[in-house]
Chain A
């Protein structure tokens, strides 16, 4: 008797008891569905974390002034001004792996349109900032290098600022706003970046040329750069290399002796992003683990029903043996029934899992990520569950004594 014939026999036996077969595989359906949905949601969450960091420029170093030392008391990062505008020029000229360098200085300020006013964050930078931050104008234009060198009073607004000064969806390009009563011409609106990972609003900001910022808002150019120098690189490896180079350069420029603490601070967001992705990964694994347990429970359900089925069909087994079924024929029949059940459950579970993942992805705004390896794993596990939990009932059936089985009431 061929495997194909055995399969047909198994399928016809299962379709004779459709409701029961379905209820039996429900455990596996839920188990496989849960594994796929959970992993997919976990991956989606991870992708969103990564995307958030990408949007801030995950390959971007931020260089700040270091902690100052006053007797034994040390202040926090940036509490001692040590980074100078000359350092910026040096970094721009000497860090070969950097693809972009931009200063970022800022202050809170009251901003006014003709009809409204709003407290927001003013950021001063160069034209390169848009590239370094990967943050571009959706409406209007970005300010140019010339705007920076000629101290133009132009500004780009974040979405939140536009909403609060002009109303949602209004095009403010060409309007004038006043920052600390100094008029600026609005040249563009920045694309929306949503919330930062730590919860503040990225879009609540106004970006102006750094020269204008220094002159009009900060009140004149000083020696020290009271803010951040952003150094962007093409990839994570380059980020690490750039970090070393910047550190060496600044130690040399600041004439620090070996053993002396840095008086500046280079932050590599890669590390932070990796930590965040790790924690998302941990949650994914945890969810998948819980789902695997439910798959196991589903397998036990199959074993249970197969045992009931063997007992119920004792006479059928006896008859099959009487008309010539060998032990292995009976063994295969019941084993294949269990495997067919669990694989059918696996397939329905995949459909259900993908459906659930789609729903969750659209509901929570995750990207829909179905991992093919997880789908394959789920099918493999459900087949293994069928074999593992089907073997015992099948062996039991094949070892029945034909006479006892025929006489079984």
Chain B
């Protein structure tokens, strides 16, 4: 398999001189297409910085980062925006949905910036919401949805523009354990469909669903091991009540 994401000598330094903070030190990482990667580590370890760079939200201080074989470390702000729009999908801990805006409109957001026409936008957003099991919640506002449902809207938003990679920063951080399993189950489905998934968590039982676990400490990848992923089984009764 070819690496979909490849970093070499990745460094990120905030501040200068004696006050410099080294968030990432010399990270070499290759993630292959279809991998399901959990990133673990204590706060301040640099995992969020790593995710930001992998997610093309930030640029490394030194080193290279190739996404789909394309060097992105030197791209301009707007070029990075295009990469985020077309290649990546984001899921955040706090869902980050637009308030007082329907689920359908929230999911359409990436397509709006991709320049997709109104009718196709609606069709694809509806399809994405059906995929996450929210076909009956299209016109609901985030305030009218449970936490798990909101996160599923966010996942629908992440997949609507058919990304190659989904980056999730503590996607289950605000959810109870049952709902967390549902979300992970959804991720596993997407992974089986060929989407590469990288997610941050600090809970070992959430990391257990990944096929590969990275542990980040002091800006370095300390351990990197493959594992047999646990299957996220959602009891049918719970799924119905979610």
Chain A interface (Cβ within 8 Å of chain B)?
1-2, 5, 9, 12, 16, 315-316, 318-329, 402-403, 406
Q: Distance (Å) between the CB of B118 and the closest chain A CB?
A: 8
Which of B55, B81, B98 contacts A316 (CB under 8 A)? B98
- Docked CA distance A319–B109 (Å): 10
Q: Are A319 and B98 in contact (CB under 8 A)?
A: yes
Q: Distance (Å) between the CB of B12 and the closest chain A CB?
A: 11
Q: Are B57 and A324 in contact (CB under 8 A)?
A: no
Q: Are A324 and B82 in contact (CB under 8 A)?
A: yes
User: Could you pull out 13 A-B pairs where Cβ atoms are within 8 angstroms?
Assistant: A1-B112, A12-B101, A12-B105, A16-B100, A318-B96, A322-B84, A322-B96, A323-B85, A323-B113, A324-B161, A325-B81, A326-B81, A328-B78
- Docked CA distance A12–B161 (Å): 23
Which of A5, A323, A327 contacts B84 (CB under 8 A)? A323
Q: Distance (Å) between the CB of A6 and the closest chain B CB?
A: 9
CB nearest to A399 among chain B residues? B77
Determine the chain B residues whose CB is within 8 A of the CB of A321 once the complex forms: 81, 84
Q: Are B100 and A323 in contact (CB under 8 A)?
A: no
Q: Which residues, 83 to 107 on B, are CB-close (under 8 Å) to A?
A: 84-86, 90, 92, 96, 98-101, 105
Query: Known contacts being A402-B57, A406-B96, is A324 close to B113, with CB within 8 Å?
Result: yes
The reply to whether the CB of B235 lies closer than 8 angstroms to some CB of chain A is: no
Q: Are A324 and B85 in contact (CB under 8 A)?
A: yes
Q: Distance (Å) between the CB of A222 and the closest chain B CB?
A: 92
Which of A16, A315, A324 contacts B114 (CB under 8 A)? A324
Query: Known contacts being A319-B98, A403-B52, is A325 close to B77, with CB within 8 Å?
Result: no
Q: Distance (Å) between the CB of A214 and the closest chain B CB?
A: 89
Q: Are A403 and B85 in contact (CB under 8 A)?
A: no
Q: Are B52 and A329 in contact (CB under 8 A)?
A: no
Query: Known contacts being A16-B100, A315-B96, A327-B78, is A1 close to B113, with CB within 8 Å?
Result: yes
Which of A316, A318, A329 contacts B113 (CB under 8 A)? A329
Q: Are B109 and A323 in contact (CB under 8 A)?
A: yes
Q: Distance (Å) between the CB of B95 and the closest chain A CB?
A: 10
The reply to whether the CB of B157 lies closer than 8 angstroms to some CB of chain A is: yes
Which of A1, A2, A323 contacts B90 (CB under 8 A)? A323
Q: Distance (Å) between the CB of B109 and the closest chain A CB?
A: 5
Which of B52, B82, B113, B161 contacts A320 (CB under 8 A)? B113
Q: Which residues, 44 to 97 on B, are CB-close (under 8 Å) to A?
A: 52, 55, 57-58, 77-78, 81-82, 84-86, 90, 92, 96
- 1/0 per residue B161-176: CB within 8 Å of A? 1000000000000000
- Docked CA distance A353–B126 (Å): 46
Determine the chain A residues whose CB is within 8 A of the CB of B157 once the complex forms: 323
Q: Distance (Å) between the CB of A403 and the closest chain B CB?
A: 5
- Docked CA distance A327–B80 (Å): 11
Query: Known contacts being A316-B98, A322-B84, A322-B90, is A9 close to B112, with CB within 8 Å?
Result: yes
CB nearest to A15 among chain B residues? B100
Determine the chain B residues whose CB is within 8 A of the CB of A2 once the complex forms: 115
Q: Distance (Å) between the CB of B84 and the closest chain A CB?
A: 5
Residue pairs across A and B with CB atoms within 8 Å: the count is 62
Query: Known contacts being A5-B112, A323-B109, A327-B77, is A406 close to B85, with CB within 8 Å?
Result: no
Determine the chain B residues whose CB is within 8 A of the CB of A16 once the complex forms: 99-101
Q: Distance (Å) between the CB of B59 and the closest chain A CB?
A: 11
- Docked CA distance A244–B44 (Å): 97
Known: A320-B109, A326-B82. 17 other contacts (CB 8 A): A1-B112, A1-B115, A5-B112, A9-B112, A16-B100, A318-B96, A321-B81, A322-B55, A322-B57, A322-B84, A323-B84, A324-B84, A324-B86, A328-B78, A403-B57, A406-B92, A406-B96
For B, the interface residue count at a CB cutoff of 8 angstroms equals 27
Q: Are B81 and A324 in contact (CB under 8 A)?
A: yes
Determine the chain B residues whose CB is within 8 A of the CB of A320 once the complex forms: 109, 113
Determine the chain B residues whose CB is within 8 A of the CB of A318 once the complex forms: 96
Q: Closest 9 interchain pairs by CB?
A: A324-B85, A324-B113, A323-B110, A326-B78, A326-B81, A319-B96, A16-B100, A325-B113, A402-B57
- Docked CA distance A66–B55 (Å): 97
Determine the chain A residues whose CB is within 8 A of the CB of B112 once the complex forms: 1, 5, 9
Q: Are A403 and B81 in contact (CB under 8 A)?
A: no
Determine the chain A residues whose CB is within 8 A of the CB of B77 once the complex forms: 326-327
- Docked CA distance A318–B169 (Å): 15
Q: Are B58 and A403 in contact (CB under 8 A)?
A: yes
Determine the chain A residues whose CB is within 8 A of the CB of B58 once the complex forms: 403
Q: Distance (Å) between the CB of B52 and the closest chain A CB?
A: 6
CB nearest to B158 among chain A residues? A323
Most chain B beta-carbon contacts within 10 A, residue among A2, A324, A406 = A324
Determine the chain A residues whose CB is within 8 A of the CB of B82 once the complex forms: 324, 326
Determine the chain B residues whose CB is within 8 A of the CB of A322 once the complex forms: 55, 57, 84, 90, 96
Q: Distance (Å) between the CB of B64 and the closest chain A CB?
A: 20
Q: Distance (Å) between the CB of B176 and the closest chain A CB?
A: 23
CB nearest to B90 among chain A residues? A322
Q: Distance (Å) between the CB of A296 and the closest chain B CB?
A: 32
CB nearest to B55 among chain A residues? A322
CB nearest to B92 among chain A residues? A406
- Docked CA distance A318–B96 (Å): 9
Q: Distance (Å) between the CB of A12 and the closest chain B CB?
A: 8
CB nearest to A405 among chain B residues? B57
CB nearest to B157 among chain A residues? A323
Determine the chain B residues whose CB is within 8 A of the CB of A319 once the complex forms: 92, 96, 98, 109
Most chain B beta-carbon contacts within 10 A, residue among A316, A322, A406 = A322
CB nearest to B98 among chain A residues? A316
Determine the chain A residues whose CB is within 8 A of the CB of B78 once the complex forms: 326-328
Determine the chain B residues whose CB is within 8 A of the CB of A1 once the complex forms: 112-113, 115
Determine the chain A residues whose CB is within 8 A of the CB of B57 once the complex forms: 322, 402-403, 406
Determine the chain A residues whose CB is within 8 A of the CB of B161 once the complex forms: 324
- Docked CA distance A211–B77 (Å): 97
Q: Distance (Å) between the CB of A352 and the closest chain B CB?
A: 29
